[in-house]
């Protein structure tokens, strides 16, 4: 096979067809809330109940959300590519659980997870499926110091060392359903490309960072990605049909 190590970066767009709204960068609104009210550290000080309630609502709504063919295609890629001796590192900016539900493993949730909570007193992060409040007590240390395990704007994403190592050794970088405006994820393509990886984006439209990709496949990820994965798994390399835009 022409490629060995693949890094996949996913964003809100891959889950849009499963009924989870994307982040509206043009209005700055996320699920009808302003980012500064629910997704910055100061919001937790100003109005912690609003922050907990916001993520409680999203966590509850995950229960009936199902993965779509794009999530399943990535699980298939990971399973079959690994069986051929390659690696697939799946990095997601998403806080939902649809990659897990589709069967992917070892997922790096660089922006945290709705189904996890963080005790800022004892610094433990652990699975959490209930509603939380500012009064919720940590089962480990007994302190009222739980917060949603979400990386807010102004905070450092998780597991950047691991991500950097995977980008250093990858020869194929796929970016799926991300607008390319949230850093540092938006810079992963430039980083991998500068080290020789082929970079391909999947989006409805040409994204803000499209110029850094070798080419893009435009349309619904649930349609473009399964076709792409089938070809990659079957041939171990990529042919670029005339119809693909770049």
Annotated binding site for Zn(2+): 119, 122, 138, 141
Best CA proximity match to 151, nearest among 103, 178, 114: 114
Least distance from ligand NAD to the Cβ atom of residue 235, Å: 23
Least distance from ligand NAD to the Cβ atom of residue 36, Å: 14
Q: 218-241 burial, b for 16+ CB within 10 Å, e for fewer?
A: bebbbebbbebbeebbeeeebeee
Q: Which of 3, 4, 17, 124 binds ligand NAD (CB under 6 A)?
A: 17
Q: Between residues 44 and 91, which has the closer beta carbon with respect to ligand NAD? A: 91
**CA 112, CA 95: separation in Å to the nearest integer?**
6
Which positions are annotated as active-site residues? 111
| Cα dist from 16 to 7, 25, 84, 85, whole Å | 21, 15, 31, 32
Q: Between residues 44 and 73, which has the closer beta carbon with respect to ligand NAD? A: 73
Query: 113: burial class by Cβ within 10 Å (0-12, 13-18, 19+)?
Result: buried
Least distance from ligand NAD to the Cβ atom of residue 4, Å: 26
Q: Which residues participate in the annotated binding site for NAD(+)? A: 93-96, 177-179, 203-205, 221
Largest CA distance in the chain: 61
Considering only residues 155 through 214, tell me which ones interact with ligand NAD, judged by CB under 6 A.
177-179, 181-182, 202-205, 207
Residue 27 contacts residue 84 (beta carbons within 8 Å): no
Q: Which of 22, 40, 145, 160 binds ligand NAD (CB under 6 A)?
A: 22
**Helix boundaries (H) for 63-204:** 69-83, 98-102, 160-169, 188-194
Binding piece for ligand NAD, criterion CB under 6 A, among 10-18, 75-83, 100-108, 139-147: 10-18
Contact flag: residue 35 with ligand NAD (CB under 6 A):
no
Residues engaged in binding ligand NAD (CB under 6 A): 11-13, 15-17, 20, 22-23, 25, 30, 93-96, 111, 177-179, 181-182, 202-205, 207, 220-221
């Amino acid at each position: 096979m022409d490629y060995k190590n693949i890094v996949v970066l996913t964003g809100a767009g891959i889950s849009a067809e499963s009924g989870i709204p994307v982040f509206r960068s043009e209005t700055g609104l996320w699920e009808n809330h302003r980012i500064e009210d629910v997704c910055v550290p100061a919001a937790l000080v100003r109005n912690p109940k609003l922050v907990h309630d916001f993520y409680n609502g999203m966590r509850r709504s995950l229960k009936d959300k199902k993965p779509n063919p794009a999530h399943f295609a990535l699980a298939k890629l990971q399973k079959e590519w690994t069986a051929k001796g390659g690696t697939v590192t799946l990095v997601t900016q998403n806080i939902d659980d649809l990659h897990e539900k589709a069967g992917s493993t070892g997922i790096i949730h660089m922006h945290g997870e709705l189904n996890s909570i963080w005790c800022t007193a004892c610094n433990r992060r652990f699975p959490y499926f209930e509603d939380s409040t500012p009064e919720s007590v940590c089962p480990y240390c007994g302190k009222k110091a739980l917060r949603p395990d979400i990386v807010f704007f102004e905070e450092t994403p998780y597991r950047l060392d691991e991500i950097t190592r995977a980008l250093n050794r990858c020869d194929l970088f796929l970016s799926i359903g991300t607008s390319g405006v949230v850093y540092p994820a938006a810079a992963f393509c430039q980083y991998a490309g500068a080290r020789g990886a082929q970079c391909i984006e999947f989006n409805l439209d040409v994204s803000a960072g499209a110029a850094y990709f070798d080419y893009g496949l435009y349309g619904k990820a649930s349609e473009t990605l399964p076709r792409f994965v089938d070809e990659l798994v079957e041939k171990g390399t990529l042919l670029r049909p005339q119809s693909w835009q770049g």
